[in-house]
C-alpha cells in the first residue's frame, strides 16, 4: 500500500505530505494525535478546576441566547448537574441557539475558565458516544479530520505496514507491548489504561532511537588520554581562590576527574545558573591538565568574554605556575604569529579565545582538554573540530559549560552526545536579584529610580525586543528608545546603544565603554544576554517582557547582581502567570521547568536550539522514561550481547533522525 492508494489523497495532498517528510504509510502512522477527547467519564461541576479539559453531563437551566458583537456571534446559556452550575459559551456557532431549550440534557467536552467570577465552558464539543477520540494536528491544508480518516484506512493493514522494531528480548526487559498493538491503541484507544501502555511503548522507541542517533555524534569514545590528579592540585587551587567550594562544585569536579582518568574521551556538559561557579570548576580541571603536561583550549562566543576569562585565569591559575595566553580573531599579524608560536611550542598551558582557536594554522603541542563556554552558541561539529586538533589517535577531552538552564529531561535528549552534570547550588552570600513587574503608569517613577542609582555610581541596562519598529509587533524599538531617553527622561546621563547586527567594532566599543563605567545606561537588544560581566550594573529593565520566554528573561536578569550591591530587574508589562513565576524564584532550573510546562518543549527551545527536532511521539517531558531509554542506549552500546540489536536500531535511528542530526551538528 502506498499513500496515493488512500481515499482522499490526490496529487496535491500527496505533495503536501511529501513536503512534510511523510513519504510512506509508516510515516503517516507516526503522525500521532496531538490530544484526545476523553468522554469515558464525566466530572462533577463541583470538582472542576479552571484551565482543565473536562467532560460534563449537564441539563440546561435557561434557553440559549444569541448576541452579535462587531460581527462575532456569542451564544450563552446556563447549565447544571447535581453538584453545581456552569456557564456555557459558544463563539461563532450561532446555530447552537436553536439546538437546546430549558430542561434539555447534553454531554459536553471543552476547556473550563473562570470568567467574571463564574466557571465557564468555552466552545464545548457535543459528545454523542462516550469514548476516547484522537485529535490530529493538520498537515499543511490537510485537516485533522481527514488525517484521522487516512490513518483509519491504514490500521487494518498495520502488521504489513509497520514491522516490529524492537527484539523480543528488549520488549521483555523493558516490559513493553509490541509496536502493532501500540499503534492501534494510540490511533484507536479502547481504554485509558491501554492508551497509557501504548504511549509508553512509542515513547520508549522514539527516545531510545533518538539517543542512539545522538550517540553517533560522539565519535570514537572508546579511547581517551588518561590523566591523574597529582599532589592534590585541585585542593591547592581552591585554597588559591580564597573560598570554600560548594557541595555541587565538589561533586561535579569529581565527575570530571573520574572522566579524565577513565581511559575514555570525556564528553561532559556542565549546566549551572549564573554565579554558581562553573568557571572555577573548569579552571580546576585546567590545573590537572597542566600538571600532566597537556594543554587546554577554552573557547567562548565573544572577544569580550574571552578577555574576561583571561583576566580571571590570570588571577586564579598563574599563582599555580600555569601559563595562559589569548588568541582572538581580531589580532594583528605580529601578535597572532607570536600567539601561534606559544601554542605550537606548548609554552601556554591554557589558551583562551573565540572561534579563532580552531582556525587554519593553529597547531597545538599537546592538546588534552577543550572547554566551550555557552554551549548553545556552538554546534557538535565545532566542538569535534577543536577536539580533533589533539595530536595522535586520541581526541581531546571535551568539557562544555552553559549558564542557560535547561530541565535535565531536555538536556539528556538535546545533548545526547554529552554526559550531563548540574551545578545546582550557589555560593553562600550571593544576593538574589529582586524582580518586579512594572506597569506603564509607573514608568517615570522607574526612571527616577535609575537616576538615583546612577548618582550612587551604579549602572543600568534597558533591553528592547526589537532594533527598529515593526508594524507586525507592537514592541519598543531600541533605537527609538535610545533617542527618547537621551532627549527626555534620562537626559544628562551617559547613554549607549548596541544591537545584534551592529558592526562588530561598534558593538564591542559600546559594551567596553559600559564595562569601564563610561556609560551609565546601555540600551540594547538581547545581544547582552551572554558574555557581559559588569559588577556595577545593578538595574535591568526589560521592555515588553511578555514577548520573551521565561528562560531568556532569567538569562537577561543574570546580567545584574554580579557585585556586592542590591540589584533589581524590572519587567515592563501587565502582570500575568508567566511573569509572576519570574518574580517568585531566582532558581534558573525552576524557571526553565515551568517555562517548558507552560510552552511545551519545542516552543521553550526555539528553532535555534533545535526545538523543531525533538523526537516525535510521547515522553519528552517524562523524566523516568528519558532516564530509562538513556540506560537502554548505554546498555546496547556497551554490552556485546546486544551488539547486533544495537547495530540494527542505530541504522533505523540514523535514518529516522537524519535531518535532526544534520541541524544539531551545524547549530
508 confidence band (pLDDT: 50, 70, 90): confident
Span of 124-133, 409-418, 550-559 with lowest mean pLDDT: 409-418
Is 133 a domain residue? no
**394-398-401 Cα angle (round to 5):** 175
513 within some domain: yes
DSSP designation for 554: H
Closest CA to 202 of 625, 520, 504: 625
613, pLDDT greater than 50: no
Cell of 434: 529582586
Q: Answer yes or no: do 255 and 398 share one domain.
A: yes
Range with lowest mean pLDDT among 44-53, 147-156, 181-190, 210-219: 210-219
Which of the four pLDDT bands, split at 50, 70 and 90, describes residue 453? very high
**Structural contact between residues 653 and 615, judged by C-beta atoms closer than 8 angstroms:** no
Q: Residue 221: what pLDDT?
A: 56
Decide if pLDDT at 561 tops 70: yes
Higher pLDDT, 495 or 628: 495
pLDDT in tens, 106-118: 999 999 988 877 8
- Higher per-residue pLDDT: 411 or 315: 315
Backbone angles phi, psi at 181, to 5 degrees: -60, -45
Q: Within 10 A of 10 (CB to CB), how many other CB atoms are there? A: 8
Classify residue 664: in a domain, yes or no.
no
Least confident of 72-76, 311-315, 372-376: 372-376
20 plus 75 within the same structural domain? no
First vs last C-alpha separation in the chain: 38
Q: Is pLDDT larger for residue 494 or for residue 395?
A: 494
378 and 454 in a single domain? The answer is no
114 and 24 part of one domain: no
| Statement to judge: residues 334 and 376 lie in one domain | yes
22 and 118 fall within a common domain: no
Q: What is the pLDDT of residue 611?
A: 38
Residue 554 lies in a domain: yes
What's the confidence (pLDDT) of residue 136? 92
Task: Tell me which of 77-81, 529-533, 571-575, 608-612 is least confident.
Answer: 608-612
Domain count, the chain: 4
- CA angle at 528 for the pair 525 and 529, rounded to the nearest 5°: 100
Q: Is residue 18 part of a domain?
A: yes
Q: Are 454 and 518 in contact (CB under 8 A)?
A: no
- Kindly state whether residues 285 and 366 are assigned to the same domain: yes
User: Directed axis angle between helix 623-638 and helix 192-215, to 10°?
Assistant: 50
Do residues 330 and 463 share a domain?
no
Q: How far apart are CA 136 and CA 138, in angstroms?
A: 6
Half-sphere exposure of 515 (CA within 13 A, CB side): 14
How do residues 386-442 score in pLDDT, each as one tens digit? 666 655 567 889 898 988 777 777 777 767 667 889 898 887 767 789 999 999 999
22 and 86: one domain? no
pLDDT tens readout for residues 48-69: 988 888 999 999 999 999 999 8
Lowest pLDDT segment from 272-276, 325-329, 333-337: 272-276
Please say if the pLDDT value at position 210 is more than 70.
yes
Of the pLDDT bands very low, low, confident and very high (cuts 50, 70, 90), residue 259 is very high
CATH assignment at residue 59 = 2.40.50.140
Residue numbers of the domain that contains 157: 1-36+143-163
Residue 351 lies in a domain: yes
What is the DSSP secondary structure assignment for residue 79, as one 8-state letter? E
Distances (CA, A) of 377 to 98, 293, 355, 419: 58, 29, 11, 18
Q: Which long-range contacts (CB under 8 A, 24 or more apart) does 241-247 make?
A: 241/280, 241/316, 243/427, 245/277, 245/280, 246/276, 246/277, 246/423, 246/425, 246/426, 246/427, 246/428, 247/425
Name which residue leads in pLDDT, 299 or 217: 299
pLDDT at 600: 66
Average pLDDT over residues 592-620: 61
Residue 644 located in a structural domain:
no
Q: What's the pLDDT at 181?
A: 96
Average pLDDT, the chain: 86
Q: Are both 239 and 386 inside the same structural domain?
A: yes
CATH of the domain at 572: 3.40.50.300
* Confidence (pTM): 0.70
138-181 pLDDT, tens digit per residue, is 998 899 999 999 999 999 999 999 999 998 988 998 999 999 99
Does 90 map to a domain? yes
Pair 537, 516 in one domain: yes
Q: Is residue 518 located within the same domain as residue 581?
A: yes
Q: Are 277 and 329 in contact (CB under 8 A)?
A: no
E strands within 188-251?
Answer: none
Beta bridge partners of 269: 400, 420
The angle, 0 to 180 degrees and rounded to 10, between the axes of the packed helices 588-605 and 550-557 is 130
Residue 375, pLDDT score: 57
Q: Is the pLDDT of residue 132 over 70?
A: yes
What percent of the chain is modeled with pLDDT above 70? 88
Range scoring the smallest mean pLDDT among 282-286, 333-337, 444-448, 586-590: 586-590
- Give the model's confidence band at 378: pLDDT under 50 very low, under 70 low, under 90 confident, else very high: low
User: Grid coordinates standing for 314?
Assistant: 590570570
Structural contact between residues 40 and 191, judged by C-beta atoms closer than 8 angstroms? yes
Amino acid at each position: 500500500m502506498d499513500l496515493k492508494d488512500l481515499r482522499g489523497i490526490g496529487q496535491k495532498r500527496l505533495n503536501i505530505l511529501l513536503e512534510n517528510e511523510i513519504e510512506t504509510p509508516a510515516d503517516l502512522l507516526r503522525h500521532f494525535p496531538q490530544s484526545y477527547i476523553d468522554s469515558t467519564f464525566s466530572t462533577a461541576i463541583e470538582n472542576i478546576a479552571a484551565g482543565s479539559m473536562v467532560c460534563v453531563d449537564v441539563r440546561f437551566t435557561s434557553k440559549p441566547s444569541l448576541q452579535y458583537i462587531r460581527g462575532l456571534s456569542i451564544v450563552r446559556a446556563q447549565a447544571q448537574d447535581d453538584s453545581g452550575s456552569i456557564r456555557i459559551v459558544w463563539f461563532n456557532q450561532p446555530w447552537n441557539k436553536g439546538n437546546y431549550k430549558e430542561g434539555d440534557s447534553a454531554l459536553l467536552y471543552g476547556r473550563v475558565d473562570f470568567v467574571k467570577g463564574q466557571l465557564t465552558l468555552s466552545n464545548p464539543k457535543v459528545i454523542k458516544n462516550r469514548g476516547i477520540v484522537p485529535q490530529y494536528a493538520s498537515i499543511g491544508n490537510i485537516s485533522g479530520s481527514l488525517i484521522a480518516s487516512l490513518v483509519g484506512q491504514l490500521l487494518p493493514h498495520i502488521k504489513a505496514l509497520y514491522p516490529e522494531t524492537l527484539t523480543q528480548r528488549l520488549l521483555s526487559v523493558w516490559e513493553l507491548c509490541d509496536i502493532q498493538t501500540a499503534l492501534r491503541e494510540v490511533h484507536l484507544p479502547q481504554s485509558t489504561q491501554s492508551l497509557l501502555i501504548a504511549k509508553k511503548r512509542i515513547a520508549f522507541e522514539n527516545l531510545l532511537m533518538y539517543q542512539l542517533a545522538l550517540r553517533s555524534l560522539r565519535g570514537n569514545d572508546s579511547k581517551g588520554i588518561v590523566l591523574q590528579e597529582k599532589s592534590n592540585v585541585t585542593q591547592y587551587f581552591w585554597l588559591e581562590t580564597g573560598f570554600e567550594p560548594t557541595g555541587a562544585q565538589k561533586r561535579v569536579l569529581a565527575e570530571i576527574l573520574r572522566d579524565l582518568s577513565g581511559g575514555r574521551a570525556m564528553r561532559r556538559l556542565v549546566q549551572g545558573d549564573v554565579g554558581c561557579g562553573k568557571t572555577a570548576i573548569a579552571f580546576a580541571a585546567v590545573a590537572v591538565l597542566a600538571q600532566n603536561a597537556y594543554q587546554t583550549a577554552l573557547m567562548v562566543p565573544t572577544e569580550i568574554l574571552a578577555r574576561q576569562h583571561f583576566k580571571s585565569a590570570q588571577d586564579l591559575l598563574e599563582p599555580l605556575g600555569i601559563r595562559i595566553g589569548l588568541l582572538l580573531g581580531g589580532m594583528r599579524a605580529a601578535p597572532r604569529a607570536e600567539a601561534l608560536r606559544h601554542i605550537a611550542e606548548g609554552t601556554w598551558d591554557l589558551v583562551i579565545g573565540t572561534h579563532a582557536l580552531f582556525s587554519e594554522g593553529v597547531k597545538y603541542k599537546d592538546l588534552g582538554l577543550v572547554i566551550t563556554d555557552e554551549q548553545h552558541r556552538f554546534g557538535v561539529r565545532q566542538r569535534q573540530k577543536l577536539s580533533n586538533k589533539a595530536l595522535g589517535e586520541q581526541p581531546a577531552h571535551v568539557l562544555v559549560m552553559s549558564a542557560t538552564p535547561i530541565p535535565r529531561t531536555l538536556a539528556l535528549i538535546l545533548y545526547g552526545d554529552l554526559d550531563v552534570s548540574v551545578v545546582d547550588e550557589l555560593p553562600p552570600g550571593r544576593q538574589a536579584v529582586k524582580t518586579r513587574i512594572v506597569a506603564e503608569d509607573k514608568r517615570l517613577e522607574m526612571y527616577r529610580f535609575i537616576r538615583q542609582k546612577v548618582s550612587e555610581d551604579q549602572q543600568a541596562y534597558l533591553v528592547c525586543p526589537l532594533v527598529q519598529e515593526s508594524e507586525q509587533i507592537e514592541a519598543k524599538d531600541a533605537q527609538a528608545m535610545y533617542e527618547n531617553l537621551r532627549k527626555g527622561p534620562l537626559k544628562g546621563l551617559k547613554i549607549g546603544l548596541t544591537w545584534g547586527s551592529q558592526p562588530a567594532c561598534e558593538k564591542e566599543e559600546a559594551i567596553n565603554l559600559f564595562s569601564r563605567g563610561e556609560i551609565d545606561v546601555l540600551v540594547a537588544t538581547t545581544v547582552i544576554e551572554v558574555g557581559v560581566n559588569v559588577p556595577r550594573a545593578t538595574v535591568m529593565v526589560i521592555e515588553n517582557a511578555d514577548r520573551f520566554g521565561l528562560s531568556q528573561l532569567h538569562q537577561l536578569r543574570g546580567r545584574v547582581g554580579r557585585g556586592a550591591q542590591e540589584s533589581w530587574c524590572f519587567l515592563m508589562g501587565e502582570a500575568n502567570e508567566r511573569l509572576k513565576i519570574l518574580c517568585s524564584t531566582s532558581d534558573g532550573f525552576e524557571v526553565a521547568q515551568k517555562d517548558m510546562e507552560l510552552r511545551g518543549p519545542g516552543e521553550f527551545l526555539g528553532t535555534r536550539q533545535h526545538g523543531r527536532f525533538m523526537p516525535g511521539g510521547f515522553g519528552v517531558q517524562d523524566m523516568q522514561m528519558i532516564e530509562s531509554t538513556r540506560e537502554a542506549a548505554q546498555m546496547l552500546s556497551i554490552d556485546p550481547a546486544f551488539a547486533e540489536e544495537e547495530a540494527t536500531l542505530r541504522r533505523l535511528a540514523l535514518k529516522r533522525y537524519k535531518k535532526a542530526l544534520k541541524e544539531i551538528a551545524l547549530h
